Structures are given as structure tokens and as C-alpha cells.
């Protein structure tokens, strides 16, 4: 092989064969063959081989081939690292000999299927390292098939011990966490039960105390009356004034006790709901409550009252309190004119979801528990009484909140209204301006 130069100066490789022709002429027959293409193909082959050798030798994952008995035909250096065996020893072994005993059956099954069906197999398994430790591996093998026969399996093997250990640690942590959670849940349940018992005992205790306070109070009032009678007609005006104060104070105390007992009953008692004829209930109230009689106020029930879902006794208490207040908080010397009416509604929109109310809008006592598609009935109780200052709107449904001391009261009535309505799945609110009357509303679910 020699390099030649063409006429145009281009160099090219060529193969030269020469034959000296016999005879006296001493002539030679020379064949010059341009081998540029062959040289290029050879160089490409060498480059390709180098590339693949590099990929094979430097691959951090093991790459190997085994024959149909599982014996190693070829393996890259990463296989030495993973198995711990030097190349010479490795090539004496079969892949199955390296398998961890507990993995052998599954590995064999995959291997045999790969050979038999000539396809692609992959599995997670484990090897025993040369130093005896267990190495978790992921193996994928592709069959080399010629004329329908598998001659070898070409495989990749990856050491996944670290990942497996991390997975196991994670699983252990999860199990531990689950155990802790269960323990915690158990403890919470135990403590809640204890707390509920203690709370029930305390409620019972305070209810009993409050209830029993009424007897000495009655005695106090009774004896004050007796003493007052004794002094009647005498000149002891100071003493008479004291007896009067004792009577008023004990009456106020008795009202407070009654209202507190009512509130605690409202909180504790079951309030089973059923469809209630609100119109009948309101008419009964207006006809039978002494405070709601025509000489005290003019009460108009306007339009039809749809059925509501609620508890009859609780509803009587609720509207009894609202009407009682409407009568009580009349303007001086002007008996209240009170209107009551109902309107069907559907809870919808942002306001119903407890968003901030714009200026002049209703103040509602509680965040609504009502689902957005529930059909509702809103009942309005409107009076033309003294009205409520704006700064009180948010508070008047809380316990012991009173807007005025000019009227007898305990500040518990509206708290009871709010509580019973909340327990029936409804809500309450108020719109009012000082000096211009008040409009209370109660929204209740309607039967579907
Ligand atoms: P009480 O009537 O015993 O004071 P409530 O809880 O029934 O307690 O009412 C709380 C406060 O709300 C009242 O003290 C009063 O200031 C105000 N209020 C309630 N209803 C009305 C009303 N219809 N008109 C004006 N103020 C009212």
C-alpha cells in the first residue's frame, strides 16, 4: 500500500501489485488499485468499535451477555464491581450462580422464559457479592435470536441496594408513623371521653346549683314581702324602701336564673327537626302569650307562612323571644307596631357564605351551616321601636349583651334565639337603625 498523488495534486491510498513479465524485455505489469473507499470504511469501523468499547467499558451499570445456560460470555468492568469477582473468575460462572438463594427460583423462571420466548425480560432481584453481602439489583435482558433460536441474552444490571434500603427505611418510618397516629388517635379518644364525662358532670352540677338557688331566693322575696306587710302603714319609709329593693333585686336574680336554665337546656337538649306549620305556631304565640296581647302591641302576621324544618318547642321559644323584645323595646308611650312575614329563599352567592357584609346590610349571628343548594325560608320580625345602635349589631346575639338598662332583661334572650336556630341548621341576623325600629330575621331550612 502506498500513497499516490493525482494530477490535480490530490493524494490517495492505493494498493500496488506488479508482475515482472518473463523475457528479455524486463517489462513489468503493474496494477494500481485506488483503496480510498475501503480505507474510509475501515476507519469508520474502528471509530464505531472504539465508541462501543468506550460505552461498554466505562458504563457505570453492568453490561454482560450470557449463553443459554446462563454462563457469562462477556462482561464489562462494572460487573466486576457489582459482583466483586475479577473478570477471569466471573467468566467461569453462570449468572444464576450469583443469585441470592431466595431469588433463585424467580430469576430462573425469567431467564428460561427469556431464552424460550426470545423476548425482553426485566426483574428486580438480588445477588450475593463475592464478600458475602447481599446486593439488590435490577436486571433487564434481551434475547439475541437467529433463525428462531436464542443464542444469547444481552443484559444490563444496575445496583439498586441504596434505593431499596431507602425504600425499606421509608416503609419502616411510615409504619412507625401509622403506629404513632393510631396511638395518638386512641389517646385523643380516651381523653375526649374523659373530658366529655367531666363536662357533663360539671354541667349537671352547675345546673343543679343554679336550680337550687331559686328556693332561697323565693324565701328572701317571701320574707321581704312579709316584713313589708308588717311595716305597712308605719312611718318606716326607709325600711319599706329597702324591702322594695330586696324584692326587685331578687326578681332580677330569679329572671337571670330562669334564663340561664333555659339557655343551658337549649344547649343540652336534643332538638329533633320535623316540618312545622309556622303560621299556626305564630298565631298560637300571639294569642296566648300575655306580653303579646293587643293592649301591649299591634302584631300583624302577613301573607302565607311556608313549612319549615325545625323543632316546634325551640321555634316557639325563638319567636316568643323575638316578639317579646319587639314589644319590650317600643318607643316611650308608643306601643310597637310589629309585622311578621316569610319569604322563600335559596342559599346562594358570596354573602351566604359568610363574606363581609357591605354597609347597611344585615349582621348575622353565626357563620351559615347551610349547604348552598338548600331551599330556605326567611322569617322577618319587624318593629318600629327604639332600634339598635350599629356598634351593637354584631354583639347582641352573644350572652349577657344588653343595649340598654332602661328595660328589664338579662341579655340572654337573643343568645337563646341564636343557639336554637344554629342547632336547627339555620341562622339569624338583624338590620336596625337607632330610633328607627329593628328587623330581625331567622333563616331555616324548608322541607324538600
Ligand atoms: P334582654 O332583652 O334581656 O336585654 P336580649 O338578648 O333579648 O336580652 O337582647 C339583647 C339586647 O338587644 C337588648 O338589651 C336590647 O338592647 C337589644 N334588642 C333586642 N331586641 C331588640 C328590639 N326589638 N329593638 C331594640 N333593641 C333590641
Positive/negative CA dihedral, 169, 170, 172, 173: positive
What is the whole-number distance in angstroms between the Cα of residue 326 and the centre of ligand 1? 8
Residue 80: the pLDDT is: 96
What is the whole-number distance in angstroms between the Cα of residue 262 and the centre of ligand 1? 17
Mutate to test the pocket of ligand 1, among 413, 420, 428 (most ligand atoms within 8 A of CB): 413
Residue 369: the pLDDT is: 52
User: Residue 353 carries which DSSP code?
Assistant: T
Question: What's the Cα-to-Cα distance from 431 to each of 356, 364, 442, rounded to whole Å?
Answer: 15, 9, 12
Residue 386 CA: nearest ligand 1 atom is 25
Whether the model clears a pTM of 0.75, i.e. scores above it, the answer is no
Determine which helix (DSSP H) or strand (DSSP E) holds 184, and give its type and residue range: helix 161-231
CB atoms within 10 A of CB 125: 20
Positive/negative CA dihedral, 70, 73, 78, 79: positive
What is the whole-number distance in angstroms between the Cα of residue 23 and the centre of ligand 1? 145
Reading the block at residue 408, the C-alpha cell is 328589664
Q: Residue whose CA is closest, atom 11 of ligand 1?
A: 402
Phi, psi of 322, rounded to the nearest 5 degrees: -65, -45
Q: Residue whose CA is closest, atom 16 of ligand 1?
A: 403
What is the whole-number distance in angstroms between the Cα of residue 403 and the centre of ligand 1? 6
CB atoms within 10 A of CB 28: 9
CB atoms within 10 A of CB 445: 20
CB atoms within 10 A of CB 369: 13
**Angstrom distance (rounded) from CA 410 to CA 404:** 11
Characterize the bridge pairing of strands 438-445 and 427-432.
Answer: antiparallel
Residue 363: the pLDDT is: 64
Residue 401 CA: nearest ligand 1 atom is 10
Reading the block at residue 242, the C-alpha cell is 329597702
Residue 359: the pLDDT is: 40
Determine which helix (DSSP H) or strand (DSSP E) holds 183, and give its type and residue range: helix 161-231
Residue 259 CA: nearest ligand 1 atom is 3
What is the whole-number distance in angstroms between the Cα of residue 188 and the centre of ligand 1? 41
- Pocket-forming residues, ligand 1, beta carbon under 6 Å: 321, 325-326, 329, 383, 385-388, 396, 401-404, 409-415, 438
Reading the block at residue 99, the C-alpha cell is 443469585
CB atoms within 10 A of CB 123: 16
**Angstrom distance (rounded) from CA 292 to CA 290:** 6
What is the CA angle 260-272-198, rounded to 5?
Answer: 50
**Angstrom distance (rounded) from CA 437 to CA 388:** 8
Q: Residue whose CA is closest, atom 19 of ligand 1?
A: 325
Q: Residue whose CA is closest, atom 23 of ligand 1?
A: 326
Residue 437 CA: nearest ligand 1 atom is 24
Q: Across-strand partners of 427?
A: 443
Q: Residue whose CA is closest, atom 3 of ligand 1?
A: 409
Give SS3 for 297: coil
Per-residue pLDDT of the chain (448 residues; tens, 9 = 90+): 888 999 999 999 999 888 888 888 778 888 889 999 999 999 999 999 999 999 999 999 999 999 999 999 999 999 999 999 999 999 999 988 999 999 999 999 999 998 888 878 889 999 999 999 999 999 999 999 888 888 999 999 999 999 999 999 999 999 999 999 999 999 999 999 999 999 888 888 888 888 888 888 899 999 999 999 988 888 888 888 899 889 988 888 888 888 888 888 777 778 888 999 999 999 999 988 888 888 888 999 999 999 999 999 899 999 999 999 999 999 988 888 999 999 998 765 434 433 334 344 566 665 555 555 678 999 999 999 999 999 999 899 998 888 777 777 888 899 999 999 999 999 999 999 999 999 999 999 998 8
Residue 203: the pLDDT is: 82
What is the whole-number distance in angstroms between the Cα of residue 396 and the centre of ligand 1? 7
Q: Residue whose CA is closest, atom 14 of ligand 1?
A: 402
Amino acid at each position: 500500500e502506498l500513497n499516490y498523488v493525482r494530477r490535480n495534486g490530490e493524494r490517495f491510498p492505493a494498493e500496488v501489485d506488479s508482475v515482472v513479465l518473463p523475457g528479455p524485455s524486463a517489462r513489468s505489469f503493474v496494477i494500481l488499485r485506488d483503496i480510498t473507499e475501503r480505507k474510509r470504511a475501515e476507519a469508520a469501523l474502528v471509530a464505531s468499535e472504539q465508541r462501543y468499547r468506550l460505552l461498554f467499558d466505562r458504563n457505570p451499570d453492568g453490561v454482560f451477555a450470557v449463553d443459554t445456560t446462563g454462563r457469562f460470555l462477556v462482561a464489562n468492568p462494572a460487573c466486576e464491581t457489582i459482583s466483586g469477582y475479577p473478570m477471569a473468575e466471573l467468566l467461569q460462572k453462570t449468572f444464576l450462580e450469583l443469585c441470592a438463594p431466595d431469588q433463585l427460583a424467580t430469576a430462573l423462571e425469567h431467564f428460561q422464559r427469556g431464552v424460550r420466548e426470545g423476548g425482553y425480560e426485566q426483574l428486580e432481584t438480588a445477588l450475593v457479592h463475592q464478600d458475602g453481602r447481599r446486593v439488590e439489583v435490577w436486571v433487564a435482558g434481551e434475547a439475541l435470536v437467529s433463525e428462531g433460536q436464542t443464542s444469547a441474552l444481552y443484559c444490563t444490571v444496575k445496583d439498586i441496594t441504596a434505593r431499596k434500603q431507602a425504600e425499606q427505611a421509608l416503609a419502616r418510618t411510615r409504619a412507625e408513623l401509622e403506629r404513632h397516629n393510631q396511638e395518638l388517635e386512641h389517646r385523643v379518644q380516651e381523653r375526649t371521653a374523659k373530658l366529655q364525662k367531666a363536662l357533663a358532670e360539671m354541667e349537671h352540677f352547675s345546673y343543679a346549683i343554679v336550680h337550687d338557688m331559686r328556693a332561697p331566693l323565693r324565701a328572701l322575696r317571701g320574707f321581704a314581702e312579709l316584713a313589708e306587710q308588717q311595716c305597712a302603714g308605719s312611718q318606716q319609709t326607709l325600711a319599706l324602701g329597702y324591702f322594695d329593693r330586696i324584692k326587685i333585686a331578687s326578681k332580677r336574680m330569679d329572671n337571670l336564673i330562669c334564663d340561664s336554665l333555659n339557655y343551658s337546656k337549649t344547649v343540652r337538649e336534643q332538638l329533633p327537626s320535623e316540618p312545622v306549620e309556622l303560621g299556626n305556631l305564630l298565631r298560637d304565640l300571639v294569642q296566648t302569650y300575655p306580653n303579646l296581647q293587643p293592649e301591649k302591641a299591634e302584631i300583624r302576621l302577613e301573607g302565607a307562612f311556608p313549612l319549615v324544618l325545625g323543632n316546634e318547642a325551640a321555634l316557639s321559644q325563638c319567636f316568643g323571644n323575638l316578639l317579646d323584645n319587639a314589644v319590650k323595646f317600643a318607643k316611650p308611650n308608643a306601643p310597637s307596631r310589629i309585622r311578621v312575614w316569610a319569604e322563600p329563599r335559596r342559599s346562594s352567592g358570596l354573602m351566604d357564605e359568610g363574606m363581609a357584609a357591605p354597609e347597611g346590610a344585615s349582621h348575622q349571628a353565626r357563620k351559615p351551616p347551610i349547604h348552598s343548594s338548600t331551599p330556605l325560608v326567611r322569617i322577618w320580625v319587624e318593629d318600629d321601636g327604639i332600634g339598635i345602635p350599629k356598634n351593637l349589631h354584631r354583639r347582641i346575639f352573644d350572652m349577657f349583651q344588653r343595649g340598654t338598662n332602661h328595660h328589664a332583661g338579662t341579655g340572654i334572650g337573643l343568645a337563646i334565639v341564636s343557639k336554637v336556630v344554629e342547632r336547627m341548621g339555620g341562622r339569624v341576623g338583624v338590620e336596625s337603625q337607632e330610633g328607627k325600629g329593628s328587623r330581625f330575621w331567622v333563616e331555616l331550612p324548608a322541607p324538600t
